[in-house]
Amino acid sequence: KILGISVDSNGKNASAQLKLTTLDAETLASDFVSASLQEEILETASGKENDNGNSLEQRYLLLYKLLKNNTYSSVERNTSIQLNNLGSSSEPDWEITHSSSLENELVGGLITYLSDPDLVPPAETLTVYLKTLQEMDVQQMANYLGLDSILNTSDSAKNAIASALMEQFHSCFNYKISSTSVSGYLAEVDAELTTFDSDSILTQYEKELNTYLASADAVIDGSQKRYNKSHELLLDSIRNNQATITATATFHLINDGASWKLENAGTELGNAIFGTLTASPVPEDSAEDNE
């Protein structure tokens, strides 16, 4: 809607005041930044290095996906458009002055919003990480959290234990952001995480292991069988666990000038979720130790 037009005294320049109705570009930009982060997390979890992950084509495809699948409300904003008279005062030939600011206004300020490194604040950024983690499959989560290196076992036992831990995680994981502290480009976000009780798992495992090691079967079995049995007992303790725990974890985020990111994401999330299980309770030399 044209609100008014003013022309300078020599008739060469003019300014038109407008009320523009556009889609809610701020919400679209926020969704875009969150979706971009989610794609980045999933690419890392899949063990793929995508050199074109931030290409112009992929950014447009992501915007297209958001516009196609989501519904955005409209907003009104006042702006002005500059015009130049390329003709004369008697035969005017007005032309809109092209500029990047005009492009930005016509798309509801989308370019400005996308340039804001604080558009998605630390708490919402952490939420993207936690929600994406909930949607990962076993292999993605093992890759992202470094579970393969955390569990120092033979391959078959490692896979079984990792799968059992993921099932435990998916069955009970929940979270609630409790507080945020920002200091410049650094932020700390406290979140209450509900997950399986790793201490309960280890307590049950140690109880069963000690009972087994004190039995005649342990002496008869020999070191390798005792080693394999320790894996079985740990796996059973994980699968049979029903205890959960809610604890506050502090996550550290950094703003790289483009957006907020979780520092050492896999390590921080892994420590918060798996707790004392991040150190393998079944060291590789246990077979010799139990001779």
Which is nearest to 254 in space by CA: 192, 176, 190, 184? 184
- Residue 217 and residue 95 share a domain: no
What pLDDT, on a 0 to 100 scale, did the predictor assign at position 82?
Answer: 95
- Residue 130 and residue 64 share a domain: no
- Residue 202 and residue 80 share a domain: no
- Residue 231 and residue 131 share a domain: yes
Total domains, the chain: 2
- Residue 136 and residue 44 share a domain: no
Q: Give 151: exposed, middle or buried? Use CB within 10 Å, 0-12, 13-18, 19+.
A: buried
DSSP the chain: -EEEEEE-TTSSEEEEEEEEEEE-HHHHHHHHHHHHHHHHHHHHHTT---TTTT-HHHHHHHHHHHHHH----EEEEEEEEEEEE-S-SSS--EEEPP-HHHHHHHTTTHHHHHT-TTSS-HHHHHHHHHHHHHH--HHHHHHHHTHHHHS-S-HHHHHHHHHHHHHHHHHH-EEEEEEEEEETTEEEEEEEEEEE-HHHHHHHHHHHHHHHHTSHHHHHHHHHHHHHHHHHHHHHHHHH---EEEEEEEEEEEE-SSSEEETTHHHHHHHHHHGGGGS-SS-TTHHHHT-
What pLDDT, on a 0 to 100 scale, did the predictor assign at position 46?
Answer: 86
- Residue 135 and residue 262 share a domain: yes
- Residue 279 and residue 150 share a domain: yes
- Residue 147 and residue 95 share a domain: no
- Residue 163 and residue 275 share a domain: yes
Question: In Å, how far from its chain's centre is CA 134?
Answer: 10
Of the three residues 83, 98, 114, the one that is the final residue of a domain is 114
Q: Which residues of 117-131 are buried (b: 16+ CB within 10 A; e: fewer)?
A: eebbbbbbbbbbbbe
- Residue 51 and residue 34 share a domain: yes
Which residues span the domain enclosing 103? 2-114
Secondary structure string (H, E, C) spanning 58-84: HHHHHHHHHHHHCCCCEEEEEEEEEEE
Rounding to the nearest 10 degrees, give the CA dihedral for residues 75, 80, 86, 88. 120
Tens digit of each residue's pLDDT, the chain (291 residues): 999 999 998 889 999 999 999 999 999 999 999 999 999 999 988 877 665 556 889 999 999 999 999 999 999 999 999 999 999 888 999 999 999 999 999 999 999 999 999 999 999 999 999 999 988 887 788 788 876 655 555 567 777 887 888 888 888 889 999 999 999 999 999 999 998 898 899 999 999 999 998 888 888 888 888 888 888 999 999 999 999 999 899 999 999 999 999 988 888 888 888 765 655 565 554 444 444
- Residue 282 and residue 176 share a domain: yes
- Residue 261 and residue 222 share a domain: yes
What pLDDT, on a 0 to 100 scale, did the predictor assign at position 289?
Answer: 47
Pick left, alpha or beta for residue 275 (phi over 0 → left; psi -120 to 50 → alpha; otherwise beta): left
Of the three residues 79, 114, 149, the one that is the final residue of a domain is 114
